[in-house]
Structure formats: C-alpha cells, structure tokens
Amino acid sequence: MNYKYDVVIAGAGPAGIAAALEASRTGSKVALIERYGIVGGNLTSGYVGPVLGSVCKGTIASEIRERVCPQNSDCPDFEKAKYELAVMLYEENIDVFLQTLVTGAKVTDGVIEYIEAFGKSGKMLFEADIFIDATGDGDLAVACGCEYKIGRESDALVQPISIMFTITGIDPEQKLLCRHEEDYTILSDGREYLDLCHKSSKNGVLPENVNIVRLYSTGNPTERMVNATQRNRVNPLDPKELFASEVDVRGQIMQITRFLRSEVPGFENITVKSSASTMGVRESRRIIGDYVLTADDLMNGREYPDSIVHRAHFSLDIHNPDGAGQSVSEVACPPTPKPYDIPYRAIIPVGIQNMLIAGRCISGTHEAMSSYRVMTIAMAIGQAAGAAASLASSRSIRPRMLDAGLIREHLIMRGVEL
C-alpha cells in the first residue's frame, strides 16, 4: 500500500502527538504512525506521570495537560488520556496508523524518498514533503543513516529502565506521598519513610537497586502511583535484554508491593491496580543535529536567535545508570538549570534534508537530555517540529532552508509566548 502526505510523523508519543496537531492546524495533511495499538507513548502505555517540566505559556503542552490531567493535578488520568489524545487527533482529521512499525527508509542524496512501515495489512510506503522522527529511540533517523550517540560519554550506559504502576486499597486516612529524594516523611508509627526505604534496600526487603519508593497522588486517596522499579545497565535497543528486564522488573513490582504491605501503616490491604503495558525507556539514542545541546547551555539558561522552545525548565534528572538513586552529584537534589531555550538547529538531523526530530531523541548530550526528556518539554519540541514541517512543506523548501524567524512568528501567532 502506498500513501502520500505533506507531513509524516513516526511515533505517537507526547512529542509526536503535539507535532501532528500543530502540523495539521497549520494546514498540512498529516499521517501519524504508531507501533502500538494506542496513542500517547509514555503518557498512556508507559503509565508515566506526573507531567513534569515547564515551558513558556501558550503551548499545546498546556492544552494536552488540561485534557488528560484531573483539575489541579499534574498526574494524568491514564484512562482519560487514552481517550482524549485519540479524540484530539481524530477531530483534527489526522490519519493515525496504529499497530504499524516504521521499519526503514529509501534515502537518495540525503533526501528521504519514502519510508517503510509494517502493519497488519503488510508493508506500507509513505511519501511526504517532510518527515518527523518522534519515536523516542530515533528509529527513523537511524534507518536514514543518521549518526547518533547513546548513554554516557564515558561508557555509553543509559539511565535505568522501569515499569510504573498504581496501587489501590490504601487507608484514606494515611496521607503518605513521596515525590523526591529530599522528602522527609514521618510514618504514623514514628519511623521515617525514606530511611525505611534505604534500610529495606540494604537488608533485602526491597531490591538492592531500589532504595526509594516514590508515591505520587492520583487524586484518589486510596491510590498511589508508584515510581520505584528499575533495572540498570540494560541496552534498551536489545529485545532479549528487554525480555529479561520484563521478568526482573515485574518481579520487583511484586516485591515492592509486599514491602509496602508489611512495612507501611495503612498500606496493609493494597493490591496492584494496574501497570504500564510496556517497559519504560528513559534514554536511548540521541540523534546528532546541527546543534548539540549541552548541560552548560541549560545551566546558563542560554537563548538563541533560532529558539523554538522558550523557558524550558526541569532539573538535570539522571537516574543512576549504574545502581540505585540519582548520580549526577550524589546529593539529594539534582542541579536545576535556569529556564533555557532549545534552538531549531537541535531538531535538524545532520545529513538528511527533509526530516526533523522531536521529543527525547533530539540532539543533545546525555546530561542535557535528562532535563528536556520530560513530557511538557517533549511536547513543546513536538509542536515546534510540527510547525516547522508544515511551514517548510507549504513553501516547498527543506527545513534547513526555513528561516527560524518564520517558525517563531508562527508560534507567537498561535499564542506561544516565545
């Protein structure tokens, strides 16, 4: 089957969805290709919340957040998210190809002629003026021959992978929440919760590399989202390692639940309500672009003439690739950059003329990526990529030739406070 669109986007996670919405609203005919049977990426099948990070006002990220999070909460209602994200794409007349894996590309002289995908009806070819890789792993860019980096500069290790889950059956009188390493929470029996987590990790009640069990509010006092499982030193691009991790990490869910039941007052009757349907990958490939964002850029709150995301804000949140905890400075609070910008050049892949990158696989270092990977910032990048793709398509020019001033004007006209 052959298809032709103005803009084709691989990956319907937060970045891909924002890109698709913006490109369509800018007047392009858009296809969005997703390997799973559901849109949303980590925001649905990955069970990831809260929606962290911030950017300037007026982006699609705020619109999406309002649609998927209950009022006054930044934690998504995942069932609502599954529906609302699909409805947003449907109402925009975007052609969404579910259960369709992007597998390859035909590239001539740096120009993608078409990309290949495989779905239930077999092989599909997609032609487009502009393609966007929003797969998180940079699958399309790599199929096009783009260069990439993975993990730490020193040893290529990436942040640990995890499965998020939700527990139910908590005594509503117990208000225990734990979002950060620096939270200090006294349990009703007088013990300190973080201290309990650390000791339990040491004495084998919790897995050795799980020394904090983060508990987030879902808005329901009898439930908590749990962010705790992790497996270190995994190559997230190796399917066999992913299966071994699936066995290990799903076992951790059981162990962590037993810990909470036996150790935490008010949690005696909890059960696992639900969990991510797929392993959560925090970090994999980072495609090399015309500009490589660094931690220094972020820490100094750097702005650029071609800024397409403004006032992005989140800590350098590197979960320890080697073991338990956060590794950047071995202190409780990871460093927090000043609000920073992302330049258009960081989403233009070196060597390819008609593709942009969006989301966590854009061009940056391991350290910088640990900040802009969060969903609010990923969505803002996606929106900018969608705008740029559509503007380039309607002018029949390559994204690299597009004046970033036009993208900025367009986003400002859309209400983004760039």
Ligand X SMILES: Cc1cc2nc3c(=O)[nH]c(=O)nc-3n(C[C@H](O)[C@H](O)[C@H](O)COP(=O)(O)OP(=O)(O)OC[C@H]3O[C@@H](n4cnc5c(N)ncnc54)[C@H](O)[C@@H]3O)c2cc1C
Contacts of 167 (CB under 8 A, 6+ apart): 223, 224, 226, 257, 260, 267, 270, 271, 272, 273
Q: How far is the CB of 92 from ligand X (least distance, A)?
A: 17
Q: How far is the CB of 104 from ligand X (least distance, A)?
A: 10
- With both helix axes pointing from N to C terminus, report the angle between 375-394 and 404-413 in degrees, rounded to the nearest 10: 110
Q: Which is nearer to ligand X, 59 or 135 (CB)?
A: 135
Contacts of 128 (CB under 8 A, 6+ apart): 4, 5, 6, 7, 8, 31, 112, 115, 354, 393
Q: Which is nearer to ligand X, 135 or 354 (CB)?
A: 135
Q: How far is the CB of 157 from ligand X (least distance, A)?
A: 16
Q: How far is the CB of 362 from ligand X (least distance, A)?
A: 8
Q: How far is the CB of 405 from ligand X (least distance, A)?
A: 26
Q: Which is nearer to ligand X, 47 or 267 (CB)?
A: 47
Question: Beta strand pairing status for 122-133 and 2-10?
Answer: parallel
User: What backbone torsions phi and psi does residue 188 show, to the nearest 5 degrees?
Assistant: -65, -15
Smallest CA-to-CA distance from 33 within 144, 137, 141, 134 is with 134
Q: Interface residues with ligand X (CB under 6 A)?
A: 10-16, 33-36, 41-42, 46, 48-53, 101-102, 134-137, 139, 162, 164, 280-282, 359-360, 373-375, 378
**Are 50 and 215 spatial neighbours (Cβ–Cβ below 8 Å)?**
no
Q: Which is nearer to ligand X, 51 or 295 (CB)?
A: 51
Q: How far is the CB of 242 from ligand X (least distance, A)?
A: 13
Q: How far is the CB of 162 from ligand X (least distance, A)?
A: 4
Question: Beta strand pairing status for 30-33 and 95-97?
Answer: parallel
**Residue of minimal Cβ distance to ligand X:** 13
Q: Which is nearer to ligand X, 164 or 167 (CB)?
A: 164
Q: Which is nearer to ligand X, 114 or 266 (CB)?
A: 114
Q: How far apart are CA 132 and CA 157, in angstroms?
A: 26
Q: How far is the CB of 343 from ligand X (least distance, A)?
A: 18
Q: Which is nearer to ligand X, 137 or 263 (CB)?
A: 137
Q: Which is nearer to ligand X, 15 or 144 (CB)?
A: 15
